[in-house]
């Protein structure tokens, strides 16, 4: 009985700690932001050349998809030689197909189950050069699998497999998205955590943010950060201000606010955990700005 009471007391203390710590609860808010390119480059024009390929015609097909994806994001003209920016690359392909059967033992008599599987994969490698000098490079791998079974025959199982052309297209689409997001700013959906505190006004501001009333939410957080006598709430409100700026694609301001929140309350690990994501966007946007200045 004493052990049970001790356990219950420990749970109660833990729960109370979580409820009063100011960092245990949060509200998730998602939005589409204008994300910097993953490689930190920011050219308004570039020429995407036809990629070479280990399989006939698939290089030009990929290049066409890549140009289309870059145009879709709306920041870069991918068919303009004006700045001397050229994207080149190659795709290597591999595929495998197998069939087999397995005997299944049953009280009603043994029988066979027939299997068929095919795997398609590709690796794309690319390089970006400016007037002949490499600016950045990268590579990505993508794979598509299809497996089915049937009780009738190997042929029946095989007939259910996804077609090679369909697998090729899904791989090319996947690779084109990865490479395009390396080369150009793009729209990206992100989710951030707005922290809760002791002040109920923080939760109210979080609800405003959930409804995409960012200006009003920011103003409420700002008032709490400036007027609250509670240091933990000041830090949480400042953190949430930074997250609002991140949702508005204002990466420099977001980073400054998150760092400030960490200084106000260095014991709040939820604030500390937010820094890497915000810092990553800030560094990428910083590279963009530096590139524009030196262009």
Q: pLDDT by residue (tens digit) across 156-213?
A: 999 999 999 999 999 999 999 999 999 999 999 999 999 999 999 999 999 999 999 9
Considering only 17-21, 39-43, 73-77, 223-227, which range has the smallest mean pLDDT? 17-21
Banded pLDDT at 285 (limits 50, 70, 90): confident
Q: Where in the chain is the domain with CATH 3.30.160?
A: 47-184
Stronger pLDDT, 280 or 14, i.e. the higher one: 280
> What pLDDT, on the 0 to 100 scale, is given for residue 11?
35
Q: What confidence score (pLDDT) does residue 253 get?
A: 97
Percent of the chain exceeding pLDDT 90 equals: 83
Average the pLDDT over 10-24 and give the result.
38
> In the prediction, which pLDDT does 292 show?
59
Residue from 212, 207, 209, 141 nearest 178 by CA = 141
> What pLDDT, in 10s, does the model give residues 130-147?
999 999 999 999 999 999
Mean pLDDT calculated for residue range 37-66: 94
Query: Span 93-110, mean pLDDT?
Result: 93
pLDDT the model gives residue 87? 97
Q: Region 51-69: what's the mean pLDDT?
A: 95
Tokens 């689409």 belong to which residue?
173
pLDDT in tens, 262-279: 999 999 999 999 999 999
What is the share, in percent, of the chain residues with pLDDT greater than 70? 90
Average pLDDT, the chain: 90
Q: 2.60.40.1120, 2.130.10.10, 1.25.40.10, 3.40.920.10: which CATH number matches 25-34+188-294?
A: 1.25.40.10
> Mean of the pLDDT values across residues 46-62?
95
**CATH class of the domain whose range is 47-184:** alpha beta
Q: What is the mean pLDDT of residues 25-43?
A: 92
Who has greater pLDDT, 91 or 11?
Answer: 91
Residues of the chain with CATH 1.25.40.10: 25-34+188-294
Q: What is the predicted pLDDT for the residue at 294?
A: 55
Q: Is the pLDDT of residue 18 over 70?
A: no
Residue 293, pLDDT score: 54
Is residue 35 scored above 80 in pLDDT?
yes
The answer on pLDDT for 12 being more than 70 is no
């Amino acid at each position: 009985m004493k052990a049970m009471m001790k356990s219950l007391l420990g749970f109660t203390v833990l729960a109370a700690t979580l409820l009063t710590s100011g960092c245990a609860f949060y509200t998730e808010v998602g939005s589409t932001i204008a994300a910097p390119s993953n490689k930190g480059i920011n050219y308004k024009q570039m020429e995407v050349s036809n990629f070479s390929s280990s399989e006939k015609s698939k290089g030009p097909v990929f290049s066409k998809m890549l140009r289309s994806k870059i145009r879709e994001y709306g920041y870069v003209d991918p068919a303009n030689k004006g700045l001397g920016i050229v994207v080149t690359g190659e795709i290597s392909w591999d595929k495998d197909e197998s069939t087999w059967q397995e005997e299944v033992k049953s009280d009603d008599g043994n029988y066979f189950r027939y299997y068929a599987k095919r795997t398609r994969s590709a690796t794309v490698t690319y390089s970006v050069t400016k007037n002949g000098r490499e600016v950045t490079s990268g590579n990505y791998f993508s794979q598509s699998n299809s497996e089915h079974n049937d009780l009738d025959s190997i042929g029946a199982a095989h007939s259910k497999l996804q077609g090679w052309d369909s697998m090729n297209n899904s791989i090319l689409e996947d690779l084109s998205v990865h490479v395009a997001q390396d080369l150009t700013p793009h729209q990206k959906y992100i989710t951030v955590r707005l922290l809760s505190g002791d002040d109920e006004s923080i939760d109210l501001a979080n609800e405003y943010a959930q409804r995409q009333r960012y200006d009003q939410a920011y103003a409420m957080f700002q008032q709490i950060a400036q007027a609250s006598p509670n240091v933990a709430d000041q830090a949480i409100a400042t953190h949430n201000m930074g997250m609002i700026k991140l949702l508005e694609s204002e990466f420099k301001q977001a980073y400054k606010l998150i760092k400030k929140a960490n200084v106000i309350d260095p014991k709040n690990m939820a604030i500390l955990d937010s820094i890497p994501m915000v810092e990553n966007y800030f560094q990428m946007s910083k590279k963009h700005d530096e590139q524009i200045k030196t262009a």
